[in-house]
Amino acid sequence: LNHIVEQVKLLDRFSNKSVTGTLHLTATHLIFVESNSTSAQEIWILHHHIASVEKLSLTTSGCPLLIQCRNFRLVHFVIPRERDCHDIYSSLLRLLRPVSYDELYAFSYNPKQNDQQREEGWQLIDLAAEFERMGVPCDQWQLTDVNREYKVCKTYPRDVYVPITASKPIIVGSSKFRSKGRFPVLTYFYQEKKAAVCRCSQPLSGFSARCLEDEHMLQAISKANHNSRYIYVMDTRPKLNALANRAAGKGYENEDNYSNIRFQFVGIENIHVMRGSLQKLLEGVGTRSLSMTDYLVGLENSGWLRHIKAIMDAAIFLAKAVTVEGASVLVHCSDGWDRTAQVCALGSLLMDPYYRTIKGFMVLIEKDWISFGHKFADRCDQLDPDPKEVSPIFTQFLECVWQLTEQFPQAFEFSEWFLIQIHEHVHSCQFGNFLGNSQRQREDLQLKERTYSLWAHLLSENQNYLNPLFSPSFAESHPVLEPSTQAYHFKFWRNMYNQYDRSMHPRQSILKHVLTLQESNRELEGTVQALKTKLQKFGVNTSPLKPQTPPRECSLPPRPQSLILGAPLLSRKEVQQEEDEEVFGEEAREDAPASTGGERTVEGSSATENSYGELMGSFGSKNEPGVVTLEFGVARMTC
């Protein structure tokens, strides 16, 4: 299988630049190694990350191959011989459509850990402990074993929490009246006001059907909260979509049949609209020599930020109802695994500072997305090639969180790199967490025995994802985030959607610089301490030397090494390697160059990448060597 093709050209997406190198095709990766020995960059592309491969028509310099990845990387190779190109093309086509789960990378990935370490990794996140942290079970809410065997709802977890007064017949009856059997269950409990956030799917009400058990179920949720006489039922769909569903025997709750509910539509569009919107967004921002006007018009026409705002609005509504009114809220959409997951997760994050920490955010994803059956396999196109099921629902959630980190720079323990890294691995199929569509399926696949957990991996390098501005006291003063939803707060997330287009990124990063300062603070302190002990050993009085600063509370973090983008501390090559080592884990890291010292460039900061103008074109001829050889425009800098 190991294909090697030499003299392959890699074209830059936004400029006329290209580099030549060798292309390797392995069982798991497509690897491009630049031949220039001084700055030999390598690009590693995991087969699972490839969304599409396209062979363009033959040109004089060779056969172009265009590869689009799910992590928004786009590479454009030109392969000298048509036959080689075709070989690579057809091999890739075969490789990027695995037919069974066993072919996924997670089942062959081995980070050199023993079984015990792997098990410990899987035990890091414990949802029972999470519900306990929220104060559940309690006098109003209990754990039910009704779904122990996945008999009532195949896509729910085994353990679900319901009101004490909801008996098993009520639960079973209600589940029969709900799409895919997804009856109302607890997902977040706001202890302070005893208000609950519950989730379910749409009722099978059609035009007039009723279900007494379902009505009892909502009644039970309402009664479990003494602070409020009513509960909110949030249908996260646009009203029109819900109405249309009635014709198919589904629909929404009729306020006349359910006592004490306040019904509310929110208007988040469905998966198909979202898929189309992202498509348009990417087309817009992937255009060469994009003008400001086209960029803004493209942004507007894609509707992407409008959808992000709709999700944010819904989450804010949820958080207000719970924290201000003290009312319980039941959230649903159609099946209750896309929009419902977005709104419940984002709403909980607004209400509870714990979810804004690194560990807490993992718990939140594990709870609202993984355990409640967001269909990761379908939405992220892991296995079954049904393009109608693919949709960037989870990406939108990550983006909403990013928009919040922009508004509240001190509220989150993690930086955007954490979000981007999670996004990377949702699609990489390298870890077991996101495989499959439901907990039941994951158990059938024996993921915990056969694969590794992403959370353990991320926690082991959590210093890379820290936000240096995070302030625990901010959480105390702002337990509930109240973001502004004015239009100008919604920004394009360049570091996600153009993450591999280096020439676009800021050349120096405040984040990384401050992290480095923090680290160096720690180191200096260490040195001072060491010297001091040494002196004391020899009986020298050190007191006059010292105005010793007290140690900082968050003592970490060392320099971020594997941040995906523009780490100004490392040369580009090193960054590239770091990034690729992510994929390989420990074993590849051993020969990584020491990241300190040496020269560094002001990242990507050269005229050639910026295409300021038509200097070349304006001459009208190609034999102007002074203008064509450009490399020493790259600014060099020594740390």
Partner 1 sequence: MELSEHIKTANVEDVTLRRPFHPALRGTLCVTSHHLLFSDRKDEASWQLLILLKNIDAIEKSVENLFGYPRAVGSSGTITIKCKDLLVLQLEIPGMEECLNIASSIEALSSLESVTEMYPFFYRPSHLTLNGPWGLSSTEQYYKQTERLWDRWRVSTLNSDYSVCPSYPSAVIMPREVDDDKLIRSARFRQGGRFPVLSYCHHRNGMVIMRSSQPLTGANKKRCKEDELLLQAVIDGSELGYIIDLRSAQQAQQARMTGGGFESKSFYSHWKRIHRHHERGKVVQESLIKLVEACSDPSHSVDRWLSKLENSKWLSHVHSALSTAGLVVECVERDGHSVLVHGSEGTDNTLLVSSLAQLILDPASRTVTGFLCLLEREWIQAGHPFQQRCAHSAYSHARLKQECPIFLLLLDCVWQVWRQFPLALEFSEALLLRLAQEVYASNYGTFLCNSEQERCAAGVKENTHCLFQSLLRPDIEEQYLNPLYEPTDLAIWPSVHPQSLQLWTGLFLRWTEYAQNMEEAREEVWSIVKEHHEQAGPDRTNNTLSTHCDTLTPFENLMDELTIL
The only residue of 137, 276, 326, 409 in contact with partner 1, by rule CB under 8 A:
409
Shorter beta-carbon distance to partner 1: residue 279 or 508: 508
| 620 marked as part of a ligand binding site | no
Q: Is residue 496 involved in binding partner 1 (CB under 8 A)?
A: no
Shorter beta-carbon distance to partner 1: residue 103 or 313: 313
Shorter beta-carbon distance to partner 1: residue 140 or 403: 403
How many angstroms separate the CA atoms of 353 and 411, rounded?
A: 8
The only residue of 296, 443, 556, 598 in contact with partner 1, by rule CB under 8 A:
296
Q: Which stretch, 3-11, 259-267, 321-329, 463-471, contacts partner 1 (CB under 8 A)?
A: 463-471
Q: Is residue 525 involved in binding partner 1 (CB under 8 A)?
A: yes
Tell me which residue has tokens 């396209």: 54
| 334 marked as part of a ligand binding site | yes
| 12 marked as part of a ligand binding site | no
Tell me which residue has tokens 């077991």: 432
| 39 marked as part of a ligand binding site | no
Alpha helix ranges (H) inside 380-509: 393-407, 416-428, 439-444, 447-450, 454-460, 472-477, 494-497
Q: Is residue 290 involved in binding partner 1 (CB under 8 A)?
A: yes
Residue 382: what residue type?
A: Q
The only residue of 165, 167, 521, 595 in contact with partner 1, by rule CB under 8 A:
521
Q: Is residue 636 involved in binding partner 1 (CB under 8 A)?
A: yes
382 touches 48 (CB < 8 A): yes
**Smallest Cα–Cα separation from 237: which of 314, 329, 333?**
333
How many angstroms separate the CA atoms of 42 and 31, rounded?
A: 7
| Residue ranges in 104-163 that form contacts with partner 1 under rule CB under 8 A | none
Shorter beta-carbon distance to partner 1: residue 377 or 563: 563
Shorter beta-carbon distance to partner 1: residue 168 or 513: 513
400 touches 315 (CB < 8 A): yes
List the beta strands (DSSP E) in 302-375.
328-332
How many angstroms separate the CA atoms of 190 and 72, rounded?
A: 37
Q: Is residue 520 involved in binding partner 1 (CB under 8 A)?
A: yes
Give the three-state DSSP class for 188.
strand
Contact string 245-264 vs partner 1 (x = CB under 8 A): --------------------
The only residue of 5, 8, 10, 14 in contact with partner 1, by rule CB under 8 A:
14
Q: CA triplet 217, 220, 223: central angle to 5 degrees?
A: 155
Shorter beta-carbon distance to partner 1: residue 110 or 536: 536
Give how far the C-alpha of residue 366 lies from the chain's centroid of Cα atoms, to the nearest Å: 13
Give the three-state DSSP class for 67.
strand
Q: Is residue 208 involved in binding partner 1 (CB under 8 A)?
A: no
Q: Which two tokens stand for residue 254?
A: 């009729």
Q: Which stretch, 192-200, 372-380, 408-416, 451-459, contacts partner 1 (CB under 8 A)?
A: 408-416
Q: CA triplet 508, 512, 513: central angle to 5 degrees?
A: 75
| 464 marked as part of a ligand binding site | no
311 touches 396 (CB < 8 A): yes
Other beta carbons within 10 Å of 618 = 9
Q: Is residue 490 involved in binding partner 1 (CB under 8 A)?
A: yes
The only residue of 147, 225, 277, 498 in contact with partner 1, by rule CB under 8 A:
498
Q: Which two tokens stand for residue 633?
A: 């425009």
Contact string 420-459 vs partner 1 (x = CB under 8 A): ----------------------------------------
> Which residues make Cβ contacts (< 8 Å) with residue 299, sequence separation at least 6?
281, 284, 285, 305, 492
How many angstroms separate the CA atoms of 222 and 475, rounded?
A: 29
Q: Is residue 360 involved in binding partner 1 (CB under 8 A)?
A: no
User: What is the largest distance, in Å, between two alpha-carbon atoms of the chain?
Assistant: 90
Shorter beta-carbon distance to partner 1: residue 246 or 572: 572
Q: Is residue 27 involved in binding partner 1 (CB under 8 A)?
A: no
| 336 marked as part of a ligand binding site | yes
| Residue ranges in 589-608 that form contacts with partner 1 under rule CB under 8 A | 602, 604-607
Residue 418 CB, shortest distance to partner 1, in Å, is 17
The only residue of 507, 572, 573, 589 in contact with partner 1, by rule CB under 8 A:
507
Is the peptide bond preceding residue 557 cis, with omega within 30 degrees of 0?
yes
Q: Is 389 exposed, middle or buried (0-12, 13-18, 19+ CB in 10 A)?
A: middle
Which H or E run includes 523? Answer: helix 510-537
**Smallest Cα–Cα separation from 101: which of 389, 372, 386, 429?**
429
The only residue of 31, 273, 459, 469 in contact with partner 1, by rule CB under 8 A:
469
Other beta carbons within 10 Å of 398 = 20
> Which residues make Cβ contacts (< 8 Å) with residue 291, sequence separation at least 6?
none
Contact string 71-110 vs partner 1 (x = CB under 8 A): ----------------------------------------
Q: Is residue 468 involved in binding partner 1 (CB under 8 A)?
A: yes
Q: Is residue 501 involved in binding partner 1 (CB under 8 A)?
A: yes
The only residue of 89, 150, 263, 408 in contact with partner 1, by rule CB under 8 A:
408
Q: Which stretch, 33-41, 59-67, 248-256, 485-493, contacts partner 1 (CB under 8 A)?
A: 485-493
Distances (CA, A) of 531 to 541, 548, 551, 558: 12, 13, 16, 21
How many angstroms separate the CA atoms of 470 and 454, rounded?
A: 23
How many angstroms separate the CA atoms of 235 and 237, rounded?
A: 6
Q: Is residue 556 involved in binding partner 1 (CB under 8 A)?
A: no
The only residue of 491, 572, 573, 589 in contact with partner 1, by rule CB under 8 A:
491
Shorter beta-carbon distance to partner 1: residue 207 or 488: 488
| Residue ranges in 305-324 that form contacts with partner 1 under rule CB under 8 A | 305-306, 309
**Smallest Cα–Cα separation from 46: which of 65, 71, 66, 21?**
71
| 110 marked as part of a ligand binding site | no
Select which of 333, 344, 380, 429 is catalytic: 333
Shorter beta-carbon distance to partner 1: residue 169 or 619: 619
The DSSP bridge pattern shows strands 42-46 and 29-34 to be antiparallel
Give how far the C-alpha of residue 154 lies from the chain's centroid of Cα atoms, to the nearest Å: 26
Q: Is residue 303 involved in binding partner 1 (CB under 8 A)?
A: yes
Is 333 noted as a catalytic residue in this protein? yes
Shorter beta-carbon distance to partner 1: residue 334 or 509: 509
Size of the site for partner 1 (CB under 8 A): 87
Q: Is residue 633 involved in binding partner 1 (CB under 8 A)?
A: yes
Three-state DSSP string of 307-319: HHHHHHHHHHHHH
Q: Is residue 635 involved in binding partner 1 (CB under 8 A)?
A: yes
| 352 marked as part of a ligand binding site | no
The only residue of 531, 555, 556, 587 in contact with partner 1, by rule CB under 8 A:
531
The only residue of 340, 438, 451, 503 in contact with partner 1, by rule CB under 8 A:
503
| 31 marked as part of a ligand binding site | no
Annotated binding residues? 270-271, 333-339
Annotated binding residues for substrate? 270-271, 333-339
Question: Residues with catalytic annotation?
Answer: 333
